[in-house]
Amino acid sequence: MPRPQSNTITFSIDGREVQAPENMMLADAAKLGDIEIPVFCYEPKLGQPVGACRMCLVEIEGIPKLQTACSTAVKDGMVVHTRSERAVEAQRGVVEFLLINHPLDCPVCDKGGECPLQDITFGWGAGRSRFIEPKRHFRKPLELSPLIAIDRERCILCYRCVRFAQEISEDYQLILLERGGHSFVGTFDGHPYVAPFSGNIIELCPVGALTSRPYRFRARPWEIEGSGTVCTLCPAQCNVDLTVRDERVLRVLARQNDEVDDGWLCDKGRFAYQSVHVDERVTAPLIRDGGELREVSWERALSEAAGGLRRAGSKVAALAGGGATNEEGLLLARLVRDVLGSPDVDSRPTGAVALDDWRALAAPALAAKVSDLEFAHAVLVLDCEPLDDAPIIELRIRKGVRRQGVSLLLATDRPSALDPSARASLRFAPGRGAEFAGALAAAVRGGDVDAAAAGVSAEEVAALASVLRDAGEEVVILYGERLLDGGAGALLDLADALGLASCAGAGLIGIPEFANGRGLREAGAAAGVGPGLGEVAGGRHTSGIGAGLRGGELTALYLLGVDPFVDLPDRAGWEAALEHATTVIAHAGFLSDGLREHATVVFPAEAYPEKEGTVTHPDGRIQRLRPAIARQGEVRATWSILADLCRALGSDTAIATGAAASAALFEAVPMYSGLTLEELAGRGVRWVEREQATALPRPTAVPAPAPPRPAPASAGRSLVLGSYRSLWSAPEVAASPALAFLHPPQRVEISPHDARALDRGEGEEVLAVDESGAAVRAVVAVRDAVPAGRAILLAGLANDGANVLTGGSVELRDPPPPPEPEPAAEAVGEEIEEALV
Amino acid sequence: MSPTILLRDIDEPGLATLDVYERRGGYSSLRKALAMVPDAIVAEIDASGLRGRGGAGFPAGRKSAFLPKGDMDKYLVCNADESEPGTFKDRELMQKCPHMLIEGIVIAARGAGISRAFIYIRGEYEAQARILDAALAEARGAGYIGERILGSDFSLDVVLHRGAGAYICGEETGLLDSLEGKRGNPRLKPPFPALQGLYQGPTLINNVETLMTMPHIIEIGGAEYAKLGAPNSAGTKVVSVSGHVQRPGNYEVELGTPSREIIFDLAGGPPPGRRVKLWFPGGSSSPVLTEADLDIPYDFDSLAKAGTMLGSGAIIVVDDSTPVLDVALKVAKFYRHESCGKCTPCREGTNWTVRMLERIETGEATPMDLDIMASVQERIIGNCLCVLGDAMAMPISSMISKFREELEAHMLSRQLADVAA
Amino acid sequence: MSGVRRYKHGSRVPGWDSAADLDKAPATIPDPALVEVPVELREQIEAAMARYPERHSAALPALRAAQDRYGWCSPEAIEQVACVMRVTPAYLASVASFYDMFELAPAGRHSVYVCTNITCSLRGADELFAAIEDAVGDDPEIGVRGFECLGACDIAPMVSVDQVYYGPLELADAARLVEDLRAGREPIPELALALRPSADPGAASA
Ligand SMILES: Cc1cc2nc3c(=O)[nH]c(=O)nc-3n(C[C@H](O)[C@H](O)[C@H](O)COP(=O)(O)O)c2cc1C
Ligand code: SF4
Ligand code: FES
């Protein structure tokens, strides 16, 4: 689809000749001539201007009425006056009108000092008001949600926040109620505004009407510093600006990068900073001593770890995940492979993917970038839920559909939040993304389609294929890397059938399970994958590592940001594996019960605001993390711990600084070679666009589609089990007092049909029991969009996660009487209250 | 006697039914129009000089010609929101002669190559909505609307859409948002509805009376119609006369008729012993005139020259028994109530004006407040998103300037009364 | 909810002072599995959606259908409409509260709109409004609201009773109107607008 581009024109503004792209809005074009036109309602990120506040009125020669600069496109030869008598009179008028009902309580307002209303009043107001009647007063501040407070006296009805809810997040929960001067921002029937992206309205509000409850009264703008880095809580890797005071993160703001996040953040990214500063966080090294973990000195912890590793030697295996950086991945792989002589490193939660597959998938010709999602003819979301897996990408998809008319197709194993925006949606059997991709490829080629293994009908596949073919050639496939459990061949075949490699703007974007999955792999921390997707000898993948530990072929496990009890399938298997291991070393910020019980050494993990290094975005953009605060407590840099361990085990990496670790990475990964941290600057660099991309090794053979696995089937009263990880199932969410309310309890989603057939109702507590007898307690959620015969449970929970179950189907049974009430629950509640005050 | 076109025999029993309407020659203009090429229809309307009867007085033929040609989803919207205080002509026309509106709609749609039409009728007009619905059903049954109208290749679907009580939905872009199922907030213009209107498609919006005039124009020809009326104000106009007159009601007059004739000869003038103090010539949005202005010819240009406007064609007469302040307050409160709230000057300016007027009423104001109030009106006029703000500011301005003495006297007397107390 | 505050003029006093109830779940698009919608209402809403190229256009007719059924746009009614239309209840609440004719609080069986705009007030509407309010007293079955110009200034001062227009009223008609309503009769029938001939000399059939 054509992307915006335009000619340069010259116009005159307040006597200056200014060059600007044709059709740029005057409010923006003026800035190119260093002239500021005041605006309130105008925010280009929100889409078309609405011209509501009338703050930007200017005089344009040849047009009798004053015009709103926010909605007037510049044309060649236009003559604009922003300070003519008429313009000034109108601007003063608008400021005066806006202040009529504004309380002017700036001294007690969080926005004070960074408030557009304050600035514009100062710059464009008349300096006095002739309004002498009493102002209106309301109760304030009021809760709009647990995260956001609203002060309706201050609201200037600029529409920004409600436009966000309507046109960006499309959640349509925040609305204007009533009409005229009675209009106010609110929700339906007093429901809270709780939605995955709600916090953005705080940043959008040009006055102090919408404020962050966790941030309220924490600081004044002149006491704080801003510090740019990258959020690594999920693969979307949004660019953020951290507000810091006294080495504490007080707030997270978006740092707009149009190629990454468009200037938005999800609420996890915005509020989970609280978890950096909570007491539960591990901030000192621990070792197991007499069955209990206890704090020790770094020397002690390091030597304990080194000793354990030395004893295990080549029987060590390592898993990397979470927010681990590329540098950490590189050093981990060196430690395990080069120093200890074990091939067993991985960074995927499940099965094996062949090196050739990775190479083929990384081919620059197949690489789509985030902004391609916005301008493609069609976007196929395949086996992932953008909202949960990389939330900001979801907003980009919505933007493309809304503004560019992108055809959105969804092929997933469970209902998607994007369903209402999709031209076509289809549900395949849980875990059968690869089989579906194979069937779709066949349908696109016009061949015979057998989709039974994917659990869908051939007609459904053919219908989707025809929408896809008709949409146009620029197709972006956004897939979940979990699909690769069935091999990459089918997906590559689909890409080939669609001709993605030969079409600019078309391609693949794979969402890994871990935030930096792609970077870890490219740094060489993946099974059978060396730095730069180079050749290495063998190596078990994650589930093989579990088996190896259980079978005694492996004796030590090194966990870098991975908690097997939460992050990996087959919880019981991992429990046995860790039970067998003699040494379990974990970098962890928070301890699950499992880790608490099984880790022998715990290194306090850095939170991302403390980290330096690089990460690689799913679209190949290498981004730089910069520390914004000092490491809390005893926390040390992860790269330095890995370097220390290498040294203790007899191999000096000669890496003494974070920058040196990055340099080592750029040297080790041929596609990254020649990069510098400076070059990465604030925006990052996509390696697939660099000359050095040619250093990516080619696959030795074209990966062929794997034979399809039969679709899981339900029998009798059992339901086929599907699972997913919610955006909110993260330890950082659970640990952040303000966000904890979003951390989901386990629930089982079933169709209305099954609810009737099984006589289970919404909200009922049940026990989901699989063929092996493993069981999870869950609350029934009846959902119209769930296909009949399915039960969908949450993964990624600390205790009752879907990874407790190993079978392919579950039955819903009556639960045993509830366990003893946990006395801690209430205390947590109180804490939240306190944190919110 | 001026010719009667729209109101002729309008009280004939059963005129609202297809039978009687057809018997009177109804739908013959449609047959004629279907035999014409679409451009010729627009040309006739253009030649008639017909100007929009909804308020803005835009030439109807030109508006229709703005719509892009070619095959695409285009829409016609009949504006039957009629909410301008003092206006009740569309109500009577739709209630008594609904088929003439339907005929006009089909003709206008045919001219502009439109295949989907909506009638947006204000929610309060329930009786009229029922009558229109019945008439639409009859017309559909008789093949005047629907697929392949009267065997031609022209099809038109007409849907009646009821509003729910909001004056701003009479403003054409507010109407479009409302019709799309949203709050009736006006949109930024450009883009104009003719290019990007309903559902983003090109949209022709016309008032009920405008559309109802079209069958007659097709019948007699544009040039013939143009002979009626005054220069630049062709034809007849149904004028709603109300307030302090003895025979309030709708009167159809040739444009250019002296206003005095309408107010006195037709509507009977103020009650015996009373004099005209002020009058709104075009609904409550028009700047007021006084007794001295009664001889102004009632047409677009003459009223514009007098600093006011013909608007929706609604004359409200206020006699000398009523203080101007009461009128100003009613006007200001109405616009405050109806402001959609989207743009600042209108939302805040209407409220501020009411508050100042209330202060004058209670005697807590000084003549300086009149200057502030006048300046507030200046800051509203021309600076709003749509002209609802202006619709308050213009009459209020006119009342301040024309009745300043009375307003000042009122303040003084209240203050004296306070001192005495 | 029952004691909704209204200005004397008739418009609701808005809920500026109310916070969100943090115990409630966020109001997303209602899941059809969880909301029961009476068949007849569902059919009305679906028919309305089918009339337009875009389903959102059915918001006003759908809300009106719900209000006709339940007497007011209760939160439950809005949820049902939202469920059929596949929009959030907030979307509909925002729309409904923009328009004067939607009742967002329980309303009586009868609605009486008294026009208090310019023309009617020149002819005694304010006194009439007060008289009708007096006659109704605190009868919850009859809702009386002052209303902006109803487009019937020719019969000023006028009222719209259950959406039927009557006028011109004398002060004395106030009590009779309320009596008629309470007795279940058509109120002041001889004043119905429908009976009124046009004022124009050309109107009467020759
Ligand atoms: C605040 C406001 C209210 C209006 N109300 C009406 C109305 O009730 N009926 C109407 O026909 N036009 C109304 N108009 C004028 C319309 O915007 C539009 O100009 C008209 O419908 C065009 O039709 P016409 O060209 O046939 O007059 C209103 C305009 C404004 C600014
Ligand atoms: S709350 Fe803020 S963002 Fe929302 S309308 Fe009011 S001023 Fe604008
Ligand atoms: S910034 Fe232009 S109208 Fe608000």
B168 Cα to chain A: minimum distance (Å): 10
Could A54 and B339 be called an inter-chain contact, meaning their C-beta atoms sit closer than 8 Å? no
Q: Which helix (H) or strand (E) holds B383?
A: none
pLDDT in tens, C12-61: 566 778 888 899 999 999 999 999 999 999 999 999 999 999 999 999 99
| Position C203 confidence tier, pLDDT thresholds 50, 70, 90 | confident
E-only strand ranges, A213-363: 225-230, 239-245, 248-254, 286-289, 292-295, 316-320, 345-346
Across residues A796-804, what is the average pLDDT?
92
- When pLDDT is cut at 50, 70 and 90, the band that residue A826 belongs to is very low
Query: For residues C11 and B266, which has the higher predicted lDDT (pLDDT)?
Result: B266
Q: What is the pLDDT of residues A57-114, one digit of tens each?
A: 999 999 999 999 999 999 999 999 999 999 999 999 999 999 998 998 898 898 988 9
What type of residue is C74? S
Question: Is residue B355 pLDDT above 80, yes or no?
Answer: yes
Q: Which of residues 757-786 of A touch C (CB under 8 A)?
A: 762, 782-785
Gap between the Cα atoms of A472 and A467, Å rounded = 9
pLDDT value at B116 more than 90: yes
Site to probe by mutation for ligand 3, drawn from A37, A45, A53, A80 as the one with most ligand atoms within 8 Å of Cβ, is A53
Closest residue to atom 4 of ligand 2, CA basis: A161
User: Does the CA dihedral B283-B289-B290-B293 come out positive or negative?
Assistant: negative
Mean local confidence (pLDDT), B285-309: 98
Going by pLDDT thresholds of 50, 70 and 90, the confidence category of residue C9 is low
Task: Please state, rounded to an integer, the average pLDDT across all residues of chain C.
Answer: 93
Per-residue model confidence (pLDDT) at position B175: 98
Could you give the count of Cα atoms lying within 13 Å of A54 in the half-sphere of its Cβ?
32
- The token pair at C107 is 């309303």
What radius of gyration, in Å, describes the C-alpha atoms of chain A? 28
- pLDDT, one tens digit per residue, over A358-384 is 999 999 999 999 999 999 999 999 999
Report d(CA A278, CA A386) in Å as an integer. 29
Percent of chain B past pLDDT 90, that is, above it, reads 95
Is residue B125 within 8 A of residue C163, CB to CB? The reply is: no
Please give the radius of gyration of chain C, using alpha carbons only, rounded to the nearest integer: 20
Chain A, nearest residue to B369 by Cα:
A130
Cα–Cα dist C98/A177, whole Å: 7
pLDDT attached to residue B418: 79
CB burial of B260-275 (b: ≥16 within 10 Å; e: otherwise) equals bbbbbebbebbeeebe
pLDDT mean over A346-357 = 94
Query: If you ran DSSP here, which 8-state letter would residue C71 be given?
Result: S
Average the pLDDT over B327-348 and give the result.
98
Q: Return the C-alpha torsion angle C176, C177, C180, C184, nearest 10.
A: -170
* Amino acid code (one letter) for A264: W
Q: Which of A176, A188, A747 to mutate to test the interface with C (most CBs of C within 10 A)?
A: A188
Q: What is the pLDDT of residues A668-688, one digit of tens each?
A: 999 999 999 999 988 999 999
Going by their DSSP bridges, the two strands A507-511 and A475-480 should be labelled as parallel
Instruction: Say how many Å lie between the CA of residue B97 and the centre of ligand 1.
Output: 21
Give CA–CA dist B394/B400, Å, rounded. Answer: 10
What average pLDDT does this structure show over B268-289? 98
Contact check, Cβ <8 Å, B382/A100: no
The pLDDT tens digits for A510-547 are 999 999 999 999 999 999 999 999 999 889 999 999 99
What ipTM does the predicted assembly reach? Answer: 0.95
What confidence tens digit (pLDDT) does each residue in A731-771 have? Answer: 999 999 999 999 999 999 999 999 999 999 999 999 999 99
pLDDT per residue as tens digits for the range A549-571: 999 999 999 999 999 999 999 99
Question: Quick count: other Cβ atoms within 10 Å of Cβ A63?
Answer: 11
- Cα(B168) to centroid of ligand 1, in Å? 9
DSSP A403-459: II--EEEEEESS--TTGGG-SEEEE--TT-HHHHHHHHHHHHTT-----GGGTS-HH
Task: State the best of A46, A48, A54 to mutate against chain B, taking most chain B CBs within 10 Å.
Answer: A54
For a substitution probing ligand 1, which of B48, B83, B88, B172 has the most ligand atoms within 8 Å of its CB?
B172
B3, pLDDT greater than 90: no
**A71 token code pair:** 């909605």
The sheet carrying A685-686 orders its strands as A613-616, A621-625, A685-686
Per-residue pLDDT tens over the stretch B93-113? 999 999 999 999 999 999 999
Q: Tens digits of per-residue pLDDT, A808-818?
A: 999 999 998 86
CB distance C21–A142 less than 8 Å? no
Secondary structure of residue A186 in the 3-state scheme:
strand
For B295, the 3-state DSSP assignment is coil
pLDDT over 90 for what percent of chain C?
86
Residue A263 carries which side chain, given as an amino acid letter? G
Mean pLDDT value across residues A204-219: 91
A836 has a pLDDT exceeding 50: no
pLDDT tens, position by position, A149-197: 999 999 999 999 999 999 999 999 999 999 999 999 999 999 999 999 9
Contact A90 B379 (CB under 8 A): yes
Specify which residues A507 forms β-bridges with.
A476
Place of tokens 């809300």: C63
Q: Do B344 and A182 touch (CB under 8 A)?
A: no
Choosing among C51, C68, C154, C158, which should be mutated to test the B contact, i.e. which has the most B CBs within 10 A? C154
> Which of B336, B345, B378 is facing A181, going by the closest CB pair?
B336
Q: Where are the alpha helices (DSSP H) in A101-154?
A: 116-124
Kindly state whether C75 is in contact with chain A, defined as any CB-CB distance less than 8 angstroms.
yes
Per the CB < 8 A criterion, the answer to whether A330 and A665 are in contact is: yes
Identify the residue with better confidence: A33 or A4: A33
pLDDT at A798: 85
Cross-chain Cβ contact C118/B331 below 8 Å: yes
The answer to whether C151 touches C117, Cβ cutoff 8 Å, is: no
Q: What are the strands of the beta sheet with A225-230, ordered from one edge? A: A225-230, A239-245, A248-254
Record the pTM. Answer: 0.95
Say which DSSP state A297 is in: -
- Position A819 scores a pLDDT of 66
Q: Quick check: A435 and A709 in contact, CB under 8 A? A: yes
Q: Which of A176, C73, A350, A267 is nearest to B342 (CA)?
A: A176
Question: Does residue A185's CB lie within 6 angstroms of at least one atom of ligand 2?
Answer: yes
Which H helix or E strand runs over C44? helix C39-50
Mutation test of ligand 3: which of A36, A37, A42 has the most ligand atoms closer than 8 Å to its C-beta? Answer: A42
Asked if the model's pLDDT at residue B1 lies above 90, the reply is no
State how far the Cα of A628 lies from the Cα of A612, in Å rounded to an integer: 9
Q: Tell me, what's the pLDDT at A591?
A: 96
Give pLDDT, residue A132.
Answer: 84
Per-residue pLDDT at C5 = 60
Q: Is the shortest distance between the CB of A158 and ligand 3 below 6 Å?
A: no
CA proximity to A638, closest of A720, A558, A557: A558
CA A204 to ligand 2 center in whole angstroms: 8
Give percent above pLDDT 70 in chain A.
98
Strand order in the sheet with A67-68: A16-21, A8-13, A79-81, A57-60, A67-68
Tell me if C116 sits within 8 A of C82, measured CB to CB: no
Mapped onto helix, strand or coil, the DSSP state of residue A555 is: coil
The string of pLDDT tens digits covering residues C124-147 is 999 999 999 999 999 999 999 999
Closest chain A C-alpha to B62 CA, distance in angstroms? 21
pLDDT of A127 reads: 79
Average pLDDT taken over every residue of chain A: 94
A128 touches chain B (CB under 8 A): no
Nearest to B385 among A51, A179, A180 (CB): A51
